[in-house]
Amino acid sequence: MNPSRRSLRLYLSNKAYVVGVPIITLAAMVLVSVLIALVMGIVVGLPLPHDVEEGFRNNVGSLTALPGFLVSMGALVVNRNFSMALAFGSTRRNFWVGTALGFGLTSLVTALAAVVLLALEFLTHGWFVHTHAFDVTAMGNGNYLKTFAMTFMLSALSLFLGALFGTVYRAFGASATTVTAFAMGVVIVGLIAVGVWQRVRVVAFLADWGLWAVVAILAAVVAVVAAASYSANRLATF
Amino acid sequence: MTPTATEASGIRIQQLRKSYGSLEVLSGLDLSLAPGHIYGLVGPNGAGKTTLMSTICNHTFPSGGTILVDGEDPAENARVLERMCFIHEDQPYNDVFSVGSILHVMPTFYPEWDEALARRLVTRFQLPLERRARKLSRGQKSAFAIVISLASRASYTFLDEPYLGLDPTAREIFYEELLTDFGAHPRTIVMSTHLIDEAADLMEQVIVLHEGQIVLQADVDDARSSAYVARGLADDVRAFAQGRDVIAERTLGRILSATIRGQVTAADEHKAIASRISLEPVSLQDLIAALGIHTLTSALTTENR
């Protein structure tokens, strides 16, 4: 067996955790959206009137529901599975490659789940109450491909970001992890500052490329974070 | 006769150093382990036993020196590392993994994995397969590590204080299963332990580590026969021991036990009988404790060279 696949199998040892929980999280987000719609329906009636329904297109639950869990999962995996893989005779490289494949698999399944939920949302006319959880602006307004791409990239970014923190901790200790988090915060604030400064160009860029621009940026960030995680992992110890 | 590693087989370590900041744990350590033997790694807490095994297995990086396993550097070397198994005494497990789910994935790591042995050990140790590994008790964690280590059939198996928390019955199971399985499938087993006497019958060689150095590597039988204990009334024992190299004394009321370096001769036996003294073999643990590690080095390494 390819040595990297051993770590992939280890990653998949608890499928309910690495595949099931992200899907359940997305389903829970739908449930929360429906509950909010029901509460609003007390005032405006059900199904929701068109103007209220349109307001739900700004629902960002699909963006915010996953990262918390996936970042913690990424960090946990590269800490605990790493120690286990080393104990069972794996190299660092094979562990990282196998785990990265696992992250890809989790992201793939999560993105497919988002697409299925989007289809169900269409079929049920907004979960029977005209609410929107996946047919939202942030996911491409009901475009299946954009929903898939956004969910995939968001999941991958969250997992690799968690993995980066986990591997930095393994390689350099707690202080370095804090410094990394601080440096990342500085970079994000800097990027936001540049975006605000160059807002005219940014808006024009987004207008030309739409959500695909965001997907492309996320993909680039995933690549950078994954590369950083790989580098740190080469120096990680038990 | 001390077995040694050759260029292409076994573990050869030269001038191995490992420091954590200013703390030097291993300081220029040389060690040669021939394949196919059981080695007992002993030494006081903090002597560097776990660090030594971690460094060999590439779990941590050496600060200097060379390690060769079957003639190859194990660092990030899949060909070497996949034949190793080293479950740490405080081995972290993924919080969500059950005992059963970890055992299920083991054959992918170890092609020689013995499923029947794993099942038998799980049954004998009464390990709960559904329980999360991190929720196991101290003794259960040790038992779980033993299951993986033995069933892996890894060519190089490292056991880190494997008996911790095990009750006497479980320890007996471990010793019995280790010897049975080793007899059928010889491989290199390095076991760190504090229970020297209890594990002495398992070991072919004892390696004593002290302050980051190997201060003794000797056959267990050679070590045991390098001294003996004379026990009897204090005055009688003192008279007997006069002119001999007494390395330790222990009194209990009027009874004195003297550990004496050297081997018992026929003349010694006659003299002891006449003096109403019993001459007994020294236990490995008592010998190490009696000599003190530095003295033990000179007593035994010269004998083996």
User: Taking a C-beta distance cutoff of 8 angstroms, is the pair A117, B129 a contact?
Assistant: no
Q: Which residues of A touch B76 (CB under 8 A)?
A: 91-93, 234
Residue B113 distance to chain A (closest CA, Å): 12
pTM score of the predicted model: 0.88
Domain positions in chain B are 11-222, 226-304
Q: Give the lowest-confidence range in B2-6, B87-91, B185-189, B193-197.
A: B2-6
Question: Could you tell me which chain B residue has the CA closest to the CA of A238?
Answer: B59
Q: How confident is the model at residue B284, as a pLDDT?
A: 87
Domain positions in chain A are 3-233
User: Taking a C-beta distance cutoff of 8 angstroms, is the pair A172, A85 a contact?
Assistant: no
- The answer to whether A25 faces chain B, any CB pair under 8 Å, is no
Residue B81 distance to chain A (closest CA, Å): 5
- The answer to whether A137 faces chain B, any CB pair under 8 Å, is no
Return the SS3 of B264. Answer: coil
B interface residues, A as partner, C-beta within 8 Å? 54, 57-61, 76-78, 81-88, 91-98, 101-102, 104-106, 108-111, 148, 152, 154
User: Taking a C-beta distance cutoff of 8 angstroms, is the pair B84, B156 a contact?
Assistant: yes
Residue B111 distance to chain A (closest CA, Å): 9
pLDDT of residue B305 exceeding 50, the answer is no
Return the SS3 of A69. Answer: helix
- The answer to whether A87 faces chain B, any CB pair under 8 Å, is yes
CB contact under 8 A, A84 and B102: yes
Of B61, B69, B79, nearest to B17 by C-alpha is B61
pLDDT in tens, B212-264: 888 888 899 888 888 899 999 999 999 999 999 998 888 999 999 999 989 99
Q: How confident is the model at residue B294, as a pLDDT?
A: 45
pLDDT of residue B295 exceeding 60, the answer is no
Q: Cα–Cα distance between A26 and A134 in angstroms, integer? A: 10
- The answer to whether A141 faces chain B, any CB pair under 8 Å, is no
User: Taking a C-beta distance cutoff of 8 angstroms, is the pair A112, A148 a contact?
Assistant: yes
Question: Could you tell me which chain A residue has the CA closest to the CA of B76?
Answer: A91
Chain A interface, mutation test: which of B73, B80, B93, B94, most A Cβ atoms within 10 Å?
Answer: B94
Residue B61 distance to chain A (closest CA, Å): 7
pLDDT of residue B303 exceeding 60, the answer is no
- Surface-to-core class of residue B253, CB atoms within 10 Å of its CB (0-12 exposed, 13-18 middle, 19+ buried): exposed
Q: Cα–Cα distance between A205 and A19 in angstroms, integer? A: 35
Q: How confident is the model at residue B257, as a pLDDT?
A: 93
User: What residues contact B224, with CB distance under 8 A and at least 6 apart?
Assistant: B200, B281, B282, B283, B284, B287
CB contact under 8 A, B94 and A93: no
Q: How confident is the model at residue B7, as a pLDDT?
A: 63
Residue B108 distance to chain A (closest CA, Å): 6
- Which strands make up the sheet holding B278-281, listed edge to edge? B246-252, B255-261, B227-233, B278-281
Q: Cα–Cα distance between B294 and B305 in angstroms, integer? A: 17
Q: How confident is the model at residue B219, as a pLDDT?
A: 92
Q: How confident is the model at residue B298, as a pLDDT?
A: 52
According to CATH, the superfamily of the domain at B11-222 is P-loop containing nucleotide triphosphate hydrolases (3.40.50.300)
Residue B74: other Cβ atoms inside 10 A? 23
Percentage with pLDDT > 70 across chain A: 100
Q: Cα–Cα distance between B39 and B203 in angstroms, integer? A: 5
- State the CATH class of domain B226-304: alpha beta
Percentage with pLDDT > 70 across chain B: 93
What ipTM goes with this model? 0.86
Average pLDDT over residues B107-127: 96
Q: Give the lowest-confidence range in A98-102, B60-64, B163-167, B298-302.
A: B298-302
- The answer to whether A2 faces chain B, any CB pair under 8 Å, is no
DSSP assignment of A109-159, as one string? HHHHHHHHHHHHHHHTTIIIII--SSSSGGGTTT-HHHHHHHHHHHHHHHH
Q: Cα–Cα distance between B48 and B210 in angstroms, integer? A: 8
Of B59, B78, B86, which has the smallest distance from its Cβ to A94's Cβ? B78
- Surface-to-core class of residue B138, CB atoms within 10 Å of its CB (0-12 exposed, 13-18 middle, 19+ buried): exposed
